[in-house]
């Protein structure tokens, strides 16, 4: 059996995930405007993939060392070649999806037009609009001996034009199209001010044009003394893979260092060039040379270079309910009683919130209560990604202003959220919080909050461990768990984690919590070994895993060993999966599904054993080497039997999904799970269950009030 059949390359597996996102944009089962979202997400995902993963592979290739993928033995160049081939194929599908979506939007009166689809009156209106609203605000550049090629900002759209004077001399003209000072989506009005006719559904027709197309069309008016020989829209994607720890000088202020690092990242080398039109050979070659981008990294798109405007189209159609998912609102968890201390309720019994089905409000109420409780002496918390308007941070600031000892670890290396985190760190410090910024060589990715309170019975610990960020926005869009417990042993270990972080160290041993980088991977391997031993002795060995990605080779190899020993393994892996299941004699006892649906699957669950042996954890860590060995991550055991049952039932529901689940086959391909029984969308089921539980609780409370009258 060749290794390549058992393992899948990480980057190619990620592309398969993004293909599943694109499938949602293709699916007629998904409401039209939601399909627009998936098309835009496909593109933004791909942007980040080039910025980070392809950028990293290019850096490895430039080192000219024998660096190979430890699972498939592919060199960086082999991986890049395979990526570029796959992306080209996917982009052809994306072009077809986009064309189909635009055609369907016309049914509802939305038409994205160019100058091939406008009449005389509309052209006159657009020219007046260009002259009055756009021409005064653009900043054209001429490239020549005295004018060097300008810096092109990452993921911004530019109009590029080859110009010729009467004497035959040629120059290159460039105009930024994404300045932000004029709208991207421009309504095209004709003689009667727009809305001149009706679509087939009797909706008024609204015609729109993208501002970059308007600029490109009227570019001769900008360069009046030249003849336009060729023109195109272009978009550059730049490498964003900078290792902050390698570059950091300990004599520098870390926060200010990160500010400068962000500026530097914006100017890194291009890793992709997208073009809307073909340019002739010489001018194209000159453009590639100016940008120092290889020809293999150039992509010609038949769709707009940036699809984010699709969200604006959604806003125009917001009043048509059939075009969107049914409205869902996170429900108040029936575990919590209103008008009663949250801390006291947690003291009575552990609580579990499941986002987005449960509202985040009980957790926010807990923070607010702790901030104003005279008996609370300290609040300690790790922040990785928070909302722009964060109620979590507001409560921490309030606690500090009320004299509490507030320790906050703000991870400034949270990729693409650094600027937001830097600003919050400043505000926290100004309020009197003790702010630290992570560890040398490690990102702090854990979702950990510890409230310490003095009472008549001594010191009380209230520990919250989550699978997702303390972010009110994503708590409505991502599936995550949040466990709140007053367990003293867990509280003491959480305190030890924070003590280590303050000292710039990592926890070297733990009993209750699994804490990466030193006490998670090894403990996972030990629990897998326990199931192997159980199966070999004739028992019912079982492992259930729900994560976002699986790349850690040590864990993969131990899972293969477990499969060979007869351990049944069920995995829900949303994104990257470097293990190929279902191979006879090797991974035949492993089943892997991926769920891509309305909400981003983000929760992590580890289950080992069945019945009385069953151990259930929720965690912040995926099974990726970066999580298990290069980050501070925390997994917490779920001890309450009812909560264990709830998590196990949700896991079984996901395994039973036959609407949004894809099964990973032993040939490395994903196929939709066949629906031979009643249709089951696990996300929709969990939301309906949350509504039903809330209604039942409300009915019980109403009945109780009637009895007291």
Q: Which residues are catalytic?
A: 445
Q: What is the DSSP string of 597-651?
A: SSSEE---EEEESSGGG-EEEEES--BSHHHHHSEEEEEEE---HHHHHHHHHHH
Q: What is the DSSP string of 46-59?
A: HHHHIIIIIHHHHH
CB atoms within 10 A of CB 382: 27
Strand partners, 180: none
Pairing between strand 605-608 and 615-619?
antiparallel
**601 neighbors 657 (Cβ within 8 angstroms):** no
Helices 418-430 and 254-265 sit at what angle, rounded to 10 degrees?
160
Cβ-based burial of 264 (10 A; exposed 0-12, middle 13-18, buried ≥19): exposed
Euclidean distance between CA atoms 369 and 339, whole angstroms: 12
Q: What is the DSSP string of 105-116?
A: HGGGTEEE--TT
Buried b or exposed e, range 565-575, using 16+ CB within 10 angstroms: bbbbbbbbbbb
Euclidean distance between CA atoms 685 and 627, whole angstroms: 30
Closest CA to 14 of 544, 594, 674, 628: 594
Q: Specify the residue for token string 């939301």.
A: 687
Q: What is the CA radius of gyration of the chain?
A: 28
Buried b or exposed e, range 16-37, using 16+ CB within 10 angstroms: bbbbbbbbbbbeeebbbbbbbb
At 44, list the tokens.
């933004």
At 424, list the tokens.
């919050």
Euclidean distance between CA atoms 427 and 421, whole angstroms: 10
The total number of residues shown for the chain amounts to 709
Helix (H, G, I), strand (E, B) or coil at 428: helix
Cβ-based burial of 469 (10 A; exposed 0-12, middle 13-18, buried ≥19): buried
């Amino acid at each position: 059996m060749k290794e390549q059949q058992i393992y899948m390359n990480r980057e190619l597996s990620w592309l398969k995930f993004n293909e599943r996102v694109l499938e949602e944009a293709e699916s007629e089962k998904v409401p039209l405007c939601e399909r627009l979202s998936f098309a835009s997400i496909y593109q933004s995902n791909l942007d980040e993939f080039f910025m980070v993963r392809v950028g990293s592979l290019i850096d490895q290739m430039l080192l000219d060392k024998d660096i190979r993928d430890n699972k498939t033995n592919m060199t960086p160049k082999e991986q890049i070649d395979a990526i570029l081939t796959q992306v080209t194929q996917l982009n052809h599908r994306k072009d077809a999806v986009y064309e189909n979506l635009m055609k369907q939007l016309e049914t509802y009166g939305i038409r994205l037009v160019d100058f091939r689809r406008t009449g005389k009156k509309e052209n006159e209106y657009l020219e007046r609009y260009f002259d009055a609203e756009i021409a005064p605000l653009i900043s054209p550049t001429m490239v020549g001996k005295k004018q060097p090629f300008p810096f092109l900002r990452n993921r911004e759209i530019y109009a590029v034009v080859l110009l010729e004077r009467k004497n035959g001399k040629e120059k290159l003209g460039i105009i930024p199209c994404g300045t932000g000072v004029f709208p991207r989506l421009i309504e095209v009005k004709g003689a009667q001010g727009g809305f001149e006719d009706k679509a087939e559904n009797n909706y008024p027709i609204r015609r729109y044009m993208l501002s970059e197309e308007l600029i490109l069309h009227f570019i001769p008016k900008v360069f009046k003394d030249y003849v336009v020989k060729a023109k195109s829209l272009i978009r550059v994607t730049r490498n964003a893979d900078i290792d902050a720890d390698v570059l950091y000088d300990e004599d520098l202020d870390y926060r200010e260092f990160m500010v400068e690092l962000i500026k530097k990242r914006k100017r890194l080398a291009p890793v992709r060039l997208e073009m809307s039109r073909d340019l002739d050979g010489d001018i194209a070659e000159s453009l590639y040379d100016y940008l120092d981008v290889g020809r293999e990294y150039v992509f010609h798109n038949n769709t707009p270079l940036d699809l984010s405007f699709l969200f604006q189209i959604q806003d125009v159609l917001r009043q048509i309910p059939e075009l969107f998912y049914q409205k869902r609102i996170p429900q108040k968890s029936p575990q919590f009683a209103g008008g009663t201390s949250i801390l006291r309720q947690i003291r009575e019994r552990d609580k579990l919130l499941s986002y987005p089905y449960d509202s985040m409000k009980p957790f926010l109420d807990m923070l607010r209560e702790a901030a104003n409780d005279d008996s609370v002496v300290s609040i300690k918390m790790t922040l990785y990604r928070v909302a722009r308007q964060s109620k979590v941070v507001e409560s921490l600031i309030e606690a500090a202003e009320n004299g509490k000892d507030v320790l906050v670890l703000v991870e400034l290396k949270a990729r693409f959220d650094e600027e937001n985190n830097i600003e919050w760190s400043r505000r926290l410090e100004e309020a009197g919080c003790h702010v630290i910024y992570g560890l040398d060589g490690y990102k702090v990715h854990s979702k950990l909050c510890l409230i310490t309170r003095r009472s008549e019975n001594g010191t009380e610990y209230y520990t919250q461990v989550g699978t997702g960020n303390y972010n009110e926005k994503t708590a409505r869009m991502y599936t995550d768990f949040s466990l709140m417990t007053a367990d003293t042993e867990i509280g003491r270990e959480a305190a030890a984690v924070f003590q280590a972080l303050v000292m710039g160290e990592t926890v070297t041993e733990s009993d209750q919590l699994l804490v990466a980088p030193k006490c998670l991977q090894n403990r996972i391997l030990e629990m897998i070994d326990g199931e192997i031993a159980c199966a070999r002795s004739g028992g019912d060995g079982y492992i259930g895993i729900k994560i976002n990605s699986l790349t850690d080779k040590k864990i993969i190899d131990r899972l293969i060993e477990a499969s060979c020993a007869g351990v049944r393994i069920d995995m829900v892996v949303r994104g990257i999966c470097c293990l190929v299941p279902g191979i006879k004699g090797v991974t035949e006892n492993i089943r892997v599904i991926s769920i891509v649906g309305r909400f981003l699957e983000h929760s992590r669950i580890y289950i080992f054993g069945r019945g009385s042996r069953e151990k259930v954890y929720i965690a912040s860590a995926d099974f990726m080497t970066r999580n298990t060995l290069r980050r501070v991550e925390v997994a917490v055991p779920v001890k309450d039997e009812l909560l264990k049952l709830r998590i196990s039932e949700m896991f079984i529901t996901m395994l039973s999904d036959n609407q949004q689940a894809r099964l990973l086959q032993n040939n490395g391909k994903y196929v939709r799970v066949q629906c031979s029984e009643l249709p089951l969308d696990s996300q929709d089921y969990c939301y309906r269950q949350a509504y039903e539980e809330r209604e039942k609780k409300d009915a019980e409370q109403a009945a109780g009030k009637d009895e007291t009258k």
